[in-house]
Structure 1
C-alpha cells in the first residue's frame, strides 16, 4: 500500500513538473509588444485604430496598458481576402502578448491623419514602439464635421471607436426588424433599450441612439426579401411594422426624423423613394470597405445604360460604385432631390466605423441639431478618403440657384481637393454626364496633394451640378469623394429626363408588383401602384 502511495506521489510530481515546464516553454515562445500612439506635432497621446500583422499574415489584437484606458477588438470576415481585424484604442499606452517573430504594426485615425506603420522584431524578446500620427488636414478649422448614418456597433463600443476614428456623429440603429409586420418594439435584432436623448462623449463627438432599421427578409415566416429603410433621429419607438410603409414615413417626418435609403438595389428601393418621400441616399454604402470588395452579385441588376463594369465574378468595386452613382443621378434627374449620406454597417461587415463618412458644413460651429439640419439641407460631401470643398457661384451643395424664364444660368464651379495620395481624376457631373478637369496634384509642405477646381458651365434649362474625385492608393485600390448637388431652377424650363432612365424606375416597380402578388396585403400593393403611377407621369414628359 505504501509502495502504491509513493508511486502515485512520484508520478503526480512528474506531471506537475511537466506542466510547469510546458508553461515555461509557452511563456518563452511569447514576447510583449509595448507601444504608444502620439501626435507627431504635439507629442500628446491619441486614440487610434491599430493593426498588428505577422509575417505569415495572421492578425492580432492589443490591449490597453493603462487602468484608465480602453480597447475594443474588432473581428469580421466575409472571405479569405475580405477581412477586418483591428483594435480601437483610447489615448493610452497599449500592449500585446504575441508569439515571437516579426510583425508590421500600423496605426490609423479616421480620414485626417497620415497612417503610421513600422516593422517590429520580437524574435529575441519584448520590444517597444511609438507610432507617430501626423495630421494632413483639420476639417473642423474649415467648419466641416463628420458623421455616419448606418451604424451597428454596440452602445458600449461606440465612445471608444468614435474617438479612435475621430467621427463626430454616430446614429446607431438600435431598433432592427427583419420580419414583415413585426413592430420595432418587438424587433428581432434590437439592441438594449435606449432613451431618445443625445449622448455627449465630448463637445464635438456625440451619439443619438434612437434610430430604426426595417430590413425585411421574410413575409409570413417565409423568405421573401423586400429590403431596408432607416428612420434616423426619431423621438419615440415605432409601434408598427411594415409593409405598408406610408404610416412609418408619416410618423418619422412628424417626429423630425430623416428617412434613409440603404442600398439602391434592394428590391423595394425604387418604390420607397416617391412613397416615403425619402430624404437621404447612401452614396458610399455598406458594401464599400477598407478591405477587398465582396458583394459582386447583390440585389437588383443595373440598367444597361449605366455601363457598370463587371468581371467573371460579377460587378467590380468600380462597377458597384458606378451603379450607386448612376442610380442616384437617375433619381435626381426625375426630380427626387435626395441628399447624400454615408454608412458602413460597421458591426456587421468587415469595415471600420466611419470608413465611409459624410461631412457637413457648420459655419457657426458644431452642435448635433445643426449637424442634422445641415445633413438634411445637403450642405455636405461624402468620402472614403479625399477631401473637397466646392462652390457653384457663391453656393455650396444643397443650394438652389433660381433664374427667370429666358435667362441662361452662367455658373462658375470652383474650390479645391486635398488628399493623402494623388488624384487621377476630378470630374464635374451634371445630370449624370461627367467632364474631367485638369489635375495637377501639387504636393504641399505637409505632404498632401492639392488640386484647384476652376471651371464654368452654362444651363439653358433646369438641372443640377456636383463634383466627384477619385484617389489612387499604392496597393491598387481607390477611394473617392462626392459633393452634394447644387440645383439650378430656370422658370418655365424644367429638366426632362431621358426615357430610358424613367423606364428603369418603372420596370423596377413593375417587377416588384408582379413578385408580390398574392404575398403582400392590398395596402402594400397599392403603394407600388402609386409609385408606378408617379413614375409613369414623369415618363410623359421624358425625352
Structure 2
C-alpha cells in the first residue's frame, strides 16, 4: 500500500510538472474572485495558500494550488484525446442548502485541448412542470411530462460562465470550472450528473454519469410582517436576489401560487418563506401606485423576521376610482398544463392583491377550456376579499370567431354558447357571439385591439404579415389620428369596424350596442387608438378599458393595463363593469392618472357623458392629473418604436431629459392644447378652455400612459360626423372582409354578408349626412 501511495504522489507531481504554471495560476486567481462573488469563498487559510502559490508561479506552486482546488471539486471530468467526456466523483463533501444555492468546482483534465463550453445535465434538474398549453381542441389533454416524476425534480443547476471566469474551456490540460447547485428540499437527496462539450461527446456506457448523494441542510423559515400604508395586513410583491443576481426561490422549481415565468413572489402578513443564511437584495412593492423599496437583508439565526410597509405615491380609490384588469388568464400561454391545467382562483387572487388590483376578470379561453370552465359561477369568486374581487368570464380565443378578432365577454350569466359543452360549436362570426352575450346583459369588447391594425402602407412588404415582433414596420406612422387603412389581418379589433355599427337585442329585447368597449394598453397605442378615434368621429360611443392579457402578451404581472372606474357606493364586479359601459373610467398603466375629468361640471360617465349646447360656445374642462417618472430617463423605452414593449409606459411621454410630461386635450382625436406637468407623483388641478364650434368629443391623454373616456359635446342637436373618418371606416370594412370572409363557416356566410353590408350602409348614410 505504501508503495502504491508513493507511486500516486509521483504521478501527481509529474502531472503538475506538465502544467504551464502562469495561465493555470492566473485562472486560480479568477476562481478566488468568482467564488467570493458567488457567496462561498475559500477559507482564509486556503486563500493564503492560493495567493502564495500564485506569487511563487512554478510547478511546485501548481501542486499546492491543485491540492486546495481538488478539495472543493465535486466532480472530476476527463476529456479524452478523442473528445469523449467522462466523469467521476470528486473529493468535496456533497452538502446543499434547502431553497438556496451552493457552488462547487469541477476539475477538468482536458487531454484533447477542447475550447468549447462544458455543459452539465441531470434528470433531477428538469423543470417541475409542462409549460404552455395542451392543443386548443375540445377535450384535449396535456402531454405526459416523462421521467423522472415531477416530485423527484428537486435540483436546479447552472454552470457559472460570467466574468471573471471565461465562458468556455481554455484548452489547458487542467482547469477548474464552477457549478452552481440549488436544492428545493431538505434532507437526503440523490442526483445523477453527466457532462459534455457538445452533442455526441459523452463517453459510452456509464462513464459519463455519476450519482451523488447530497445532505441538504434545512433553510431558515423567515417570517414576514407585511402591512399596507394604513398598517393593515396585506399581500405584496417580493423580489429576492443574492449578490450574484440569482433569484429566490428558484424559478424552475416553483409551483403556484409562485409563477415560474417571472422572478417575484407574493407573500402576505404572517406568512413565511425559506432562505438559507446569507446576504440578499430585496425589492418590495405593491403595484404601480406604490413606491418600490429596496433593501439589503442578512439572514442568520438572529434575524428571521422581516417587516415591510407599503408606501404610496397615489391612491385613486380614495376618490372613488377603482382599478381593474378585464383580461387575465389562469391557463394557457406562460402558465403550465402539468401538474395542473393552469392555476386556480386562490393563485390569481393572490397576484391581484399583491399588485393592489381591485378587479380581476379571469377569462377562460381555448387552452385548458374544459378544465377551467368548472370555475365559472356567474358571480364573484369565493376567493374574493373585498375590495379585491375576482370573477371568471370568457375570452373567445382559440375557438369560434377568434380569427376575426378575440372577444372579451364580461358579466356573463351563462358561459357556454348553446349547442355543446366545449368549444367546437361556437360561431365563427363575432357578431353572432355578441348577440348571444348581449341577451344576457354582458359587457363586450374586442381584446388586444391593436393586433392586425398596424398603420403601415399597403405597399410595405410586411403589410400582409401578422405582427411578429418589433421593428418589422418601417413605414408605420405614429400620427393620431391617421388615415392609413391597416391590413385587418390579426386577432384584435378587426371585425369591430363592422360590429360597432350594429344594435342587437339586450336582456329585455331593447336594442343595445353590440360592442361596449375597446381594450387598451396591451398593444401599440397608435394601433389601438386610431380605429377608436375614427369610430368616435363616425358618431359611435364605444368606451375604453385597460387590460394586460396576462400571461400572454405580458407575463411580468397582472394589472400592467388597467381601467380606473368611478363607483358610487360599495365596489362590486357588476358595478365596475357597468362603469366601463357608461364610460365612467380612464385607462392607464398605473404610472399616470387623469382623475375626475369634467366638462362644464358634467362628470365623465354621468348622463351618457353628453353635454348639450344650444349653440357654439367655450367649454371648460377640469381634471386632476398626476404622474410618476424616475429621475433618470430610460432611453430604451423613451425612444423605442411604438411596437416594442412596453407599449404603454409613462417614459414614452417624457419631454427630453426632464421630468415633465404633456397632458393633451383632444377634440375629435386631434391634440389642440397641451399643459405640461412634472411627473414627481404630485397631483395637480388642471383646467382647459376650448371653443366648440360643432358637435365633437373631448378627451384628455398622457400619450402612451393614460387616456380618459370621451365627453360628447352636442351642439344644436347635431350628430358627430367627420367625413375623413367615415371614409376611413367604409374602406376599412372592405379591407376587413378581404381578410375575414374565408374564415367564416359556410353556415354563417349569409349572416356575415348581411353584417358587413349593414356596416357599409350605415357608414354611407352617415357620410351623406
TM-score band w.r.t. shorter chain: 0.7 to 0.9
2:394 is aligned with 1:208: no
Q: Distance in 1 between matches of 2:350 and 2:742?
A: 48
2:590 is aligned with 1:358: no
Q: Flag the 1:173–1:419 CA change in 2: closer, same or farther, 3 A.
A: same
8 Å Cα contact 2:661/2:679 also seen in 1? no
2:166 is aligned with 1:94: no
Q: Distance in 1 between matches of 2:101 and 2:429?
A: 61
Q: What does residue range 223-372 of structure 1 map to in structure 2 within 5 Å?
A: 225-240=403-418, 241-264=426-449, 265=452, 266=491, 267-275=494-502, 277-285=514-522, 287=523, 320-348=524-552, 349-372=554-577
| Consecutive unaligned residues in structure 2, runs of 5 or more | 1-88, 104-181, 183-218, 331-343, 419-425, 453-490, 505-513, 630-658
Q: What does residue range 386-465 of structure 1 map to in structure 2 within 5 Å?
A: 386-389=592-595, 390-398=597-605, 399-403=608-612, 407-421=615-629, 422-441=659-678, 448-465=681-698
Q: Deviation string for 1:300-325 (max 9, x for gaps)?
A: xxxxxxxxxxxxxxxxxxxx212212
Q: Distance in 1 between matches of 2:352 and 2:306?
A: 24
2:257 is aligned with 1:72: yes
Q: Flag the 1:418–1:74 CA change in 2: closer, same or farther, 3 A.
A: same
Q: Deviation string for 1:22-51 (max 9, x for gaps)?
A: 026888668759464644855554311222
2:376 is aligned with 1:194: yes
Q: Flag the 1:19–1:120 CA change in 2: closer, same or farther, 3 A.
A: same
8 Å Cα contact 1:113/1:134 also seen in 2? yes
Q: Distance in 1 between matches of 2:371 and 2:729?
A: 31
8 Å Cα contact 1:196/1:236 also seen in 2? yes
Q: Flag the 1:429–1:518 CA change in 2: closer, same or farther, 3 A.
A: closer
Match among 501, 506, 509 for residue 730 of structure 2: 506
8 Å Cα contact 2:237/2:354 also seen in 1? yes
TM-score (norm 2): 0.53
Q: Flag the 1:536–1:42 CA change in 2: closer, same or farther, 3 A.
A: closer
Q: Flag the structure with higher strand content.
A: 1
- Larger RCO (alpha carbons 8 Å, 6+ apart): 1
Residue of structure 1 equivalent to 2:722: 497
Q: Distance in 2 between matches of 1:387 and 1:415?
A: 10
Match among 350, 356, 367 for residue 166 of structure 1: 356
Q: Flag the 1:188–1:366 CA change in 2: closer, same or farther, 3 A.
A: closer
Q: Distance in 1 between matches of 2:586 and 2:240?
A: 32
Q: Which has the larger radius of gyration?
A: 2
Q: Distance in 1 between matches of 2:613 and 2:627?
A: 39
8 Å Cα contact 1:442/1:451 also seen in 2? no
Q: Distance in 2 between matches of 1:60 and 1:147?
A: 29
Superposed displacement of residue 273, structure 1: 2.9
Residue of structure 2 equivalent to 1:146: 323
Give the SS at the match of 1:161. Answer: helix
Superposed displacement of residue 540, structure 1: 5.4
8 Å Cα contact 2:226/2:236 also seen in 1? no
8 Å Cα contact 1:52/1:104 also seen in 2? yes
8 Å Cα contact 1:62/1:95 also seen in 2? no
Q: Flag the 1:24–1:280 CA change in 2: closer, same or farther, 3 A.
A: closer
| Consecutive unaligned residues in structure 1, runs of 5 or more | 1-16, 64-69, 77-83, 179-185, 288-319, 471-478
Q: Deviation string for 1:235-278 (max 9, x for gaps)?
A: 11323412233443222122111112112233434333334721
Superposed displacement of residue 192, structure 1: 3.2
Q: Deviation string for 1:184-217 (max 9, x for gaps)?
A: xx946744343223235223222222x1211246
Match among 156, 160, 173 for residue 346 of structure 2: 156
Superposed displacement of residue 436, structure 1: 4.3
Give the SS at the match of 1:230. Answer: strand
Q: Deviation string for 1:151-180 (max 9, x for gaps)?
A: 103323122122212222222113x248xx
Q: Deviation string for 1:327-357 (max 9, x for gaps)?
A: 2211211122111111112233313111211
Superposed displacement of residue 56, structure 1: 4.9
When the two structures are aligned, how many residues end up with a matched partner?
454
Superposed displacement of residue 440, structure 1: 4.0
8 Å Cα contact 2:612/2:714 also seen in 1? yes
Residue of structure 1 equivalent to 2:115: none
Backbone CA RMSD of aligned residues = 3.7
Residue of structure 1 equivalent to 2:650: none
8 Å Cα contact 2:619/2:689 also seen in 1? yes
Superposed displacement of residue 413, structure 1: 0.7
